């Protein structure tokens, strides 16, 4: 539909609305039904006229064509050159925010294994008692940060202190699955 046809249709609808507003002072039931039918007929006529102006399925924006409703509305996209901006040093605000996060303390623990005891078994433990754990010899230790598993590793001794050499870091996807 051309711009002139759209303007003419808009003017016609505006006139129709003004007529309806003037008639709404005391409408009769029969008169309202007639007005509704006339309005429906105008809609059907406008839709039929619009269908006649179409040139097929490619008329409104298909490859290589510009439909009548969109003719002259396309523009070339222009993008700013961001190369210089990307080469400039980053803002120190981000670094300060990261520094703040880096100072948060976390509890890190390494777990050799677990077991479950009855209260009676716990009371019978004494010096030299052996508690059997659920892990086999040679299995990796589990490293927890704030109670969440983040890595596995093997026990090592460094300067007469125990440590854990990390052999496997838990992927972020696996960590998210642990939360559920």
pLDDT at 66: 47
For each successive 10 residues of the chain (180 residues), what is the average pLDDT? Answer: 74 78 57 71 79 55 49 66 68 70 89 93 94 91 92 92 93 81
* pTM (two decimals): 0.44
pLDDT at 109: 94
pLDDT at 4: 77
pLDDT at 94: 67
SS (H, E, C) the chain: CCHHHHHHHHHHHHHHHHHHHHHCCCCCHHHHHHHHHHHHHHHHHHHHHHHHHCCCCCCCCCCCCCCCCCCCCCCCCCCCCCHHHHHCCCCHHHHHHHHHHHCCCCCEEEECCCCCCCHHHHHHCCCCCCCCCCCCCCCCEEEEECCEEEEEEEEEEECCEEEEEEEEECCHHHHHHHHC
């Amino acid at each position: 539909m051309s711009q002139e046809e759209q303007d003419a249709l808009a003017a016609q609808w505006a006139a129709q609305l003004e007529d309806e507003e003037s008639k709404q002072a005391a409408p009769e039931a029969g008169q309202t039904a007639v007005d509704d039918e006339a309005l429906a007929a105008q809609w059907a006529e406008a839709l039929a006229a619009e269908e006649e102006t179409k040139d097929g399925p490619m008329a409104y924006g298909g490859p290589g064509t510009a439909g009548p409703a969109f003719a002259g509305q396309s523009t070339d996209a222009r993008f700013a050159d961001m190369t210089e901006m990307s080469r400039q040093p980053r803002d120190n605000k981000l670094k300060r925010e990261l520094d703040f996060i880096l100072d948060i303390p976390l509890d890190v623990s390494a777990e050799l294994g677990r077991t479950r005891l009855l209260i009676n078994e716990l009371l019978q433990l004494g010096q030299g008692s052996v508690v059997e754990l659920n892990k086999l010899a040679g299995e990796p230790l589990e490293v927890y940060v704030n109670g969440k598993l983040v890595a596995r590793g093997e026990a090592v001794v460094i300067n007469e202190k125990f440590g854990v050499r990390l052999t496997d870091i838990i992927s972020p996807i696996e960590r998210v699955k642990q939360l559920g």
